[in-house]
């Protein structure tokens, strides 16, 4: 680990890790390190870092995964082994050469601005479009260290304009190009050490410690966080092959490039560096980014507009979200007639719903930059282009913004959100209208960091012992359990305190177990877990294994999981990212028990053990994005009621309870 000294005033000296290279959330130029000999996993950042208090999970996937975690050196190494197996790009010099910078061919442009909204750095961007259509960006980042720590200062912009190497803290980069074996292009992310030029495996983006690549980039660029495979024949864990990018190769996480939003930048007053001076260059950058966005599947190429001639038509299952609409609207629509960027775009569904204020006050400044790049051909609810989709995500918004405090995704924007009444008050009004409590007893906004009790999800269990866990609780260190509904006094708890307790019932019935979580003297709102005890439950929760889950996933019949989660769905349906059919997953030419283990790993990756209710494995079939749960046992298809809204024991949620009990027991193989 190398360190650069920063002088503050006359005698004050801090050391800042050169691993604190920055992520360009706006342009998607991010990175990390890989499997090359020169790759570096930075040591912990030293002096000047503000002590952490309260929420601190910025830039991380909500689902942390395991074996290894997404935020780990092993995950970063596997990523670079997939996209750069020969280490042809493991230094900044090699990366630039591979992408043609300074070659005299193609076209290069530059821009410099201050990142006011997201990470606070001064950024000097150099980008090029090659004659073969590949596109690459790299950004040199500048941070003038101060007592304020990581955050925007006009001094950072000044340092970037002057290219003052005293404050240069690293380069990150992104390229849109084919994989090592060719094929359809996709986005790849890199970060390089400012002293050695070596590719880094992790970056400290906000003064709160290193986080591994590529997750700190792809989390805000539409990318996925799938688990690595089990070890292959050579003992290597590999990146998963996701079912619906056009490339279909390992290392394509479906990450995308973010367009440049100069309305959110600060600019210099020096001649040649002002915003008017740079509008033409920024428009070129946005045109190049637009080239990476596929046209909708129904499009005809060319569309008749010059900016679309470089765009491919999306496959049925490929992302074709609304980011291109925003870019086009900012330059006056099709043909991009306006020379300067002006963002007044509000999606039609938001206007029709009378929610323009919510979009302009909250979604556009605080949510859109990350969410607009999310989604697949089947559904793009998470891109927030549609108000109804945003509304159906109210429970997740409440949890991530008001309770967990990990969104907005960056510390700078998080701080701005909670210091801007027009943001949090507008959001709170929306959540109140959806039935959520967002104010305390004194009518002040509830803030993240208070203890939140989580005893798990209501479910059906067998007679005998059932382990209950408060591990999903937030910002708490002590826990108090009690039985508040105990028909016939047939149930007991092994302990009244602790993260875990054992619930033991000797008779069928509906029981209520209360949990209160505390942090010091501050207590959470009590929550009551409903447990329906059924001695005839088959299989018993403790006996559920992956074979039981696989049987449901592969059950035949109209509307079942396997209808879509297969390599070639009938009826011209697009394939899903996760394939549940029996296929040769490890590429050894056989479909056998090893492939079952690989399938188990993929399915387990759909579980969020830190937030079970948010697990896609439960939310998707139970009704979210599946029209009320069309699969038998995952909801009431007739009345479009999702399984998680039905009472435990209801036969219409039988499969939901099966999955939930399996997950609650650790999802054993």
pLDDT of 616 > 70? The answer is yes
Average pLDDT of 184-210?
Answer: 92
User: Which pLDDT does position 36 carry in this prediction?
Assistant: 64
pLDDT at 48 exceeding the cut of 50: no
Cβ atoms of 348 and 289 closer than 8 Å: no
Q: Is the pLDDT of residue 244 over 80?
A: no
pLDDT for the residue 42:
79
Whole-angstrom distance, CA of residue 3 vs CA of residue 18? 5
Tell me which long-range contacts 413-418 makes (C-beta under 8 A, separation of at least 24). Answer: 413/117, 413/118, 413/366, 414/55, 414/58, 415/151, 416/117, 416/366, 417/366, 418/447
Q: Which residues on neighbouring strands pair with residue 113, listed in sequence order?
A: 123
> Residue 87 in contact with residue 34, Cβ under 8 Å?
yes
CATH class assigned to 459-533: mainly beta
Is the CB of residue 229 less than 8 Å from the CB of residue 237? yes
DSSP structure string for 597-656: HHHHHHHHTT--TTSGGG-HHHHTTTTTTTTTT-STTSEETTTTEEGGGSPTT-GGGHHH
State the maximum Cα–Cα separation within the chain, in Å, rounded to a whole number: 84
- Is the pLDDT at 45 greater than 60? The verdict is no
- Residue ranges, comma separated, of all CATH 2.60.40.1080 domains in the chain are 459-533
Q: Is the pLDDT of residue 638 over 90?
A: no
Percent of the chain with pLDDT over 90: 70
Query: What pTM was estimated for this model as a whole?
Result: 0.90
Span of 63-72, 229-238, 628-637 with lowest mean pLDDT: 628-637
Contacts of 44 (CB under 8 A, 6+ apart): 17, 209, 210
Q: Is the pLDDT of residue 21 over 50?
A: no
pLDDT band at 249 (very low <50, low <70, confident <90, very high): very high
Tens of pLDDT, residues 540-589: 999 999 999 999 999 988 778 888 888 888 877 787 888 999 999 998 99
Residue 57 binned pLDDT confidence (cut-offs 50, 70, 90) = confident
């Amino acid at each position: 680990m190398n360190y650069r000294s920063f002088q503050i005033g006359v005698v004050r000296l801090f050391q800042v890790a050169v691993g604190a290279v920055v992520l360009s959330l706006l342009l998607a130029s991010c990175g990390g390190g890989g499997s090359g000999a020169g790759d570096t996993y930075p040591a912990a950042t030293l002096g000047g870092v503000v002590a952490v208090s309260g929420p601190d999970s910025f830039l991380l996937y909500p689902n942390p995964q395991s074996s290894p975690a997404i935020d780990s050196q092993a995950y970063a190494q596997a990523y670079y082994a997939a996209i750069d197996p020969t280490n042809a790009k493991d230094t900044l010099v090699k990366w630039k050469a591979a992408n043609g910078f300074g070659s005299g061919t193609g076209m290069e442009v530059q821009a410099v601005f201050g990142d006011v909204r997201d990470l606070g750095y001064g950024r000097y961007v150099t980008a090029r479009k090659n004659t073969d259509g590949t596109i690459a960006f790299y950004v040199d980042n500048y941070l003038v260290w101060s007592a304020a720590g990581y955050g925007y200062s006009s001094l950072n912009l000044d340092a970037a304009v002057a290219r003052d190497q005293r404050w240069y803290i690293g380069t990150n980069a992104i390229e849109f190009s084919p994989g090592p074996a060719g094929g359809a292009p996709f986005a790849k992310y890199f970060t390089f050490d400012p002293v050695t030029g070596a590719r880094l495996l992790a970056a400290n983006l906000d003064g709160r410690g290193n986080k591994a690549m590529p997750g700190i980039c792809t989390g805000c660029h539409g990318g996925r966080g799938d688990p690595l495979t089990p070890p292959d024949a050579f003992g290597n864990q590999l990146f998963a092959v996701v079912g619906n990018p056009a490339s279909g190769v390992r290392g394509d996480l479906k990450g995308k490039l973010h367009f440049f939003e100069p309305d959110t930048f600060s600019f210099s007053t020096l001649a040649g560096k002002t915003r008017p001076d740079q509008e033409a260059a920024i428009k070129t950058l946005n045109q190049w980014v637009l080239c990476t966005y596929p046209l909708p599947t129904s499009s005809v190429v060319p569309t008749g507009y010059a900016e679309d001639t470089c765009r491919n038509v999306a496959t049925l299952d490929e992302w074709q979200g609304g980011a291109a609409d925003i870019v086009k609207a900012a330059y006056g629509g099709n043909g991009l007639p306006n020379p300067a960027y002006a963002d007044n775009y509000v999606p039609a569904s938001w206007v029709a719903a009378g929610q323009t204020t919510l979009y302009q006050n909250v979604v556009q400044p605080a949510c859109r930059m990350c969410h607009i790049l999310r989604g697949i051909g089947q559904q793009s609810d998470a891109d927030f282009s549609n108000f109804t989709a945003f509304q159906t995500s109210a429970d997740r918004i409440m949890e991530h913004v008001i309770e967990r405090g990990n969104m907005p995704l960056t510390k700078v924007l998080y701080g701005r959100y909670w210091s801007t009444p027009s943001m949090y008050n507008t959001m709170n009004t929306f959540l109140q209208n959806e039935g959520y409590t967002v104010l305390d007893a004194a009518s002040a906004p509830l803030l993240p960091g208070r203890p939140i009790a989580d005893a798990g999800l209501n479910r059906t269990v067998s007679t005998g012992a059932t382990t209950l866990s408060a591990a999903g609780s937030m910002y708490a260190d002590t826990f108090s359990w009690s039985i508040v509904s105990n028909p016939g006094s047939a149930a007991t708890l092994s302990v009244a305190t602790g993260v875990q307790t054992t619930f033991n019932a000797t008779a069928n019935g509906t029981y209520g177990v209360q949990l209160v979580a505390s942090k010091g003297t501050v207590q959470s709102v009590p929550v009551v877990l409903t447990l329906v005890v059924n001695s005839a439950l088959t299989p018993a929760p403790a006996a559920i294994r992956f074979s039981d889950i696989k049987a449901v996933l592969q059950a035949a019949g109209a509307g079942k999981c396997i209808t879509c989660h297969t390599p070639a769905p009938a009826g011209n349906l697009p394939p899903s990212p996760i394939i549940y059919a029996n296929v040769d997953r490890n590429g050894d030419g056989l479909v056998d028990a090893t492939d079952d283990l690989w399938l188990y790993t993929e399915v387990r990756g759909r579980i969020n053990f830190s937030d079970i209710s948010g697990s896609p494995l439960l939310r998707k079939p139970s009704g979210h994005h599946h029209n009320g749960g069309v699969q038998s046992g995952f909801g009431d298809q007739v009345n479009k009621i999702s399984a998680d809204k039905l009472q435990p024991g209801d036969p219409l949620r039988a499969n939901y309870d099966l999955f939930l009990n399996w997950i609650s027991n650790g999802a054993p193989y």
